[in-house]
Chains A and B, each alone.
Chain A
Amino acid sequence: MQLLAERIATWLGMEGLPRQAVVAGVVLVVALVVATVVLTIAGILTWAERRVAGRTQSRVGPNRVGPLGFLQWVADGIKLITKEDVIPAAADRTLFRLAPYPVIVGIFAAFASVPFGQKLIAADLNVGVLYLMAITSLVVVGVLMAGWASNNKWALLGGVRSAAQIVSYEVPSVLAALSVVLLAGTLSLQGIIGKQGGWPWEWYLFYNPFTFVAFFLFFTSAVAEGNRTPFDLPEAESELVAGYNVEYSGMRFAGFFLGEFANVYLLSAIATALFFGGWQIPGVTPDMQAASPVWQAVGVGLFALKAGTGAFVVLWLRWTMPRLRVDQLMGLCYRYLLPLSFAMLLGNAAYVWLVPQWAAWVVQGATTTVGLAVAGVFVRRVFYHIRHVGDDVSLDLARGESGTFDPQLQVRVYGAFRRRHAGDSAS
């Protein structure tokens, strides 16, 4: 970003103060572009969440505004902007107004070093991973501020829980990311992606068993850091109403809300960069990609696809898992994730130190095979469950819009299901 700005200033032939102004202007424009893109992604994710939730629960989800209800998030955004911004009488007004900003800044600023493409990155920091981990910790400050300033017991409990959770899960997520840093020998996200390749067996996910496990540790801790279900204790509806943002309304609430969804995409994007080869295209070297704008576009698309898939899994998890208890949450972190991530870090260190190159190839191939086999078993299970209740599969997401309704089908399908399990409840 800085470099781009400097180059533009040099190109314009400016020196001294005007040069600084040009640099500042370019930086501002880039920041605005990144913020707009992130807001759009977060908005689309709110729609995607509701569609995924709908289909998972045999519903349709939002479908009235635009095709497939796609413009629902625009309508929701306009509604939230026009809503009254209520500040409770007993609240700490200054803190209350300020609280959404650390959350938004913490997450949006992280996108500055997310490598959307080989050349599509706002700032390729040489300490990219460190920067990401550090800047996202700013969210805790905002959440605690919101919880404290609301002067509300639910908000305070939610804020404290959230702080404890984020601080705890920061450790395993950083340690899991460190495994990759150790292998790549760089903290720069572009550097880490450059060390991987386009094919799955060239990803760090399948590099060795330790990185394979480290990915799941990272993903779990990142989901927990983002306060997503099953780790959404700070927002537990059944006990805390809405948690730290219970008193917020209008655009300030939208700040927290969009921050949460931007965080979902952020964690998927980081996971993509660290473990899934980022923008690398199978069969295309980074040099070839750098030379061709077409390959650049394909790379950007591939990154978006991978990160989008990751975000989908996060949404999918939300509609699968029940919420953890507080002690279970901390137990998971300190009894399982933390020791395991340490073990994976040590394992990777030993791997780099001990395993010769030819053995590394074998391990890489074996890990890929095992990983793909696991994926295959999973897909088989999905189809087993489809057959189990009656196969009425439709990949067409628009299906159901016309309100196809066949009571006989319901009776047949669920009647068969009940008959099959007739003895289950009796025993």
Chain B
Amino acid sequence: MRAFIEYFAAIGRTVVTLGDGLAVTGSYFLRRPVTLQYPDRTEKPMVALLPERSRGMLEVDLDRCPGCTACETACPIGCIRIEVSKGKPRLITRFDIDLGRCMNCGLCSEPCPTECLKHTKEFEGGMYKPDLLLIHFVEQPVPVAPVKKGEPGPPPKPLGSILRRLLTDPYGRKRPAPAPAPAAAASAPAPPVAVAAPQPVSASTPPVSATPSAAPPSTPATSGGPS
């Protein structure tokens, strides 16, 4: 008798658990998918969708850099190389970051006294040659920025605008004018107004005109890197 009951109890358990399992998967079937179709079907540019404090590739704003080399010292893998000339106006003659070796640990941006070395949200750095990720931030020697505690230096540029200008495409060619939306979205903490494809021209002007200061644009890969 006990075996008899157990036999039908097993059938009952099977039916109930199978039915409930189907209900679970059915509920997921009815639910909205969470997939983000990354390269080409995102609502906003990917950079605008990334979390506020995500660490992407590094960039340095030389207008605010005091040339203290604290970041170079802090880097555990030595992917930052800085050279500062002696002399009356001390000049930063080289500021190279090998983004291909950078592990995005953020140890360099912590000691930076002027917050000129920062992680952008940029992450698309696929290149056919690893050297193309060696970014030379100094195009012409720049004088170091005078550091005064509590004194605001030059205003920070939109996050990522400097890097996007220097980063080549995968073949090592200069990229076209930087995409508009990421800069606006990255700098503003509030969610930006829906920026879709239609208006690239009007929005693309600020990042371009924001950085004409230092030098006429030159080809990015001019000299051999540090290493």
Q: Which one of B16-24, B132-140, B150-158, B160-168 is at the interface? A: B16-24
Within 8 A of A (CB), among B43-95: 43, 49, 51
Within 8 A of A (CB), among B2-54: 10-11, 18-38, 41-43, 49, 51
Whole-angstrom distance from the CB of A323 to the nearest CB of chain B?
A: 14
Whole-angstrom distance from the CB of A344 to the nearest CB of chain B?
A: 13
Q: Which chain B residue shows the least CB distance to A52?
A: B29
With contacts A60-B35, A403-B36 known, is A381 near B20, CB below 8 A? yes
Find the residue from A378, A404, A407 having the highest chain B CB count within 10 A.
A404
With contacts A59-B35, A386-B30, A393-B31 known, is A320 near B51, CB below 8 A? no
With contacts A52-B29, A394-B30 known, is A382 near B41, CB below 8 A? no
Q: Which chain A residue shows the least CB distance to B49?
A: A405
The answer to whether B43 and A54 have CB atoms under 8 Å apart is no
Q: Is A385 an interface residue (CB 8 A)?
A: yes
The answer to whether A378 and B22 have CB atoms under 8 Å apart is yes
Contact with A along B142-181 (1 / 0, CB 8 A): 0000000000000000000000000000000000000000
CA A392 – CA B28 in complex, angstroms? 10
CA A389 – CA B10 in complex, angstroms? 29
Q: Is A199 an interface residue (CB 8 A)?
A: no
- Give the chain A neighbours of B26 by CB distance below 8 A: 316, 382, 385
A405: which of B20, B30, B36 is its contact (CB, 8 Å)?
Answer: B36
The answer to whether B25 and A316 have CB atoms under 8 Å apart is yes
Find the residue from B20, B28, B34, B41 having the highest chain A CB count within 10 A.
B34
Q: Which chain A residue shows the least CB distance to B34?
A: A58
Q: Which chain B residue shows the least CB distance to A318?
A: B25
- Give the chain B neighbours of A383 by CB distance below 8 A: 27
Chain B contributes a number of interface residues (CB within 8 A of A) equal to 28
- Give the chain B neighbours of A393 by CB distance below 8 A: 30-32
Within 8 A of A (CB), among B114-137: none
- Give the chain B neighbours of A63 by CB distance below 8 A: 37
The answer to whether A58 and B30 have CB atoms under 8 Å apart is no
A57: which of B10, B27, B28, B30 is its contact (CB, 8 Å)?
Answer: B28
- Give the chain A neighbours of B36 by CB distance below 8 A: 403, 405
- Give the chain B neighbours of A402 by CB distance below 8 A: 41, 43
Q: Is A126 an interface residue (CB 8 A)?
A: no
CA A60 – CA B34 in complex, angstroms? 8
Within 8 A of B (CB), among A378-409: 378, 381-386, 388-389, 392-395, 399-405, 407
- Give the chain B neighbours of A56 by CB distance below 8 A: 25, 28-29
The answer to whether A410 and B28 have CB atoms under 8 Å apart is no
The answer to whether A403 and B29 have CB atoms under 8 Å apart is no
Q: Is A351 an interface residue (CB 8 A)?
A: no
Whole-angstrom distance from the CB of B197 to the nearest CB of chain A?
A: 13
With contacts A59-B35, A60-B33, A320-B21 known, is A403 near B41, CB below 8 A? yes
- Give the chain B neighbours of A422 by CB distance below 8 A: none
The answer to whether B30 and A317 have CB atoms under 8 Å apart is no
Find the residue from B10, B31, B36 having the highest chain A CB count within 10 A.
B31
Whole-angstrom distance from the CB of B32 to the nearest CB of chain A?
A: 4
The answer to whether B32 and A385 have CB atoms under 8 Å apart is no
- Give the chain A neighbours of B35 by CB distance below 8 A: 58-60, 400, 403
With contacts A317-B22, A381-B20, A400-B35 known, is A55 near B29, CB below 8 A? yes
The answer to whether B27 and A321 have CB atoms under 8 Å apart is no
- Give the chain B neighbours of A317 by CB distance below 8 A: 22
- Give the chain B neighbours of A403 by CB distance below 8 A: 35-38, 41-43
Q: Is A336 an interface residue (CB 8 A)?
A: yes
Q: Which chain B residue shows the least CB distance to A383?
A: B27
Whole-angstrom distance from the CB of A394 to the nearest CB of chain B?
A: 4
The answer to whether A320 and B22 have CB atoms under 8 Å apart is yes
- Give the chain B neighbours of A382 by CB distance below 8 A: 23, 26-27, 30
A400: which of B19, B21, B28, B32 is its contact (CB, 8 Å)?
Answer: B32
CA A351 – CA B128 in complex, angstroms? 76
- Give the chain B neighbours of A407 by CB distance below 8 A: 49, 51
Q: Which chain B residue shows the least CB distance to A374?
A: B19
Q: Is A319 an interface residue (CB 8 A)?
A: yes
Contact with A along B182-202 (1 / 0, CB 8 A): 000000000000000000000
Q: Which chain A residue shows the least CB distance to B38?
A: A403
The answer to whether A394 and B31 have CB atoms under 8 Å apart is yes
CA A378 – CA B17 in complex, angstroms? 11
The answer to whether B23 and A381 have CB atoms under 8 Å apart is yes
A316: which of B10, B11, B29 is its contact (CB, 8 Å)?
Answer: B29
- Give the chain A neighbours of B38 by CB distance below 8 A: 403
A401: which of B21, B27, B37 is its contact (CB, 8 Å)?
Answer: B37
The answer to whether A404 and B43 have CB atoms under 8 Å apart is yes
Can you give 24 contacting A-B residue pairs, CB < 8 Å?
A: A55-B29, A55-B33, A60-B33, A316-B25, A316-B26, A319-B25, A320-B21, A320-B24, A321-B21, A378-B22, A382-B23, A382-B27, A382-B30, A385-B26, A386-B27, A388-B27, A392-B32, A394-B31, A395-B30, A399-B32, A400-B32, A403-B37, A403-B38, A403-B43
Beyond the given A55-B28, A319-B25, please list 14 additional residue pairs across the A-B interface where CB-CB is below 8 A: A55-B31, A57-B28, A58-B31, A58-B34, A59-B35, A316-B29, A320-B18, A320-B24, A336-B11, A385-B27, A399-B33, A403-B38, A405-B43, A410-B34
Binding site for A on B (CB under 8 A): 10-11, 18-38, 41-43, 49, 51
5 shortest interchain CB distances as A-B pairs: A385-B27, A381-B23, A400-B33, A405-B36, A403-B37
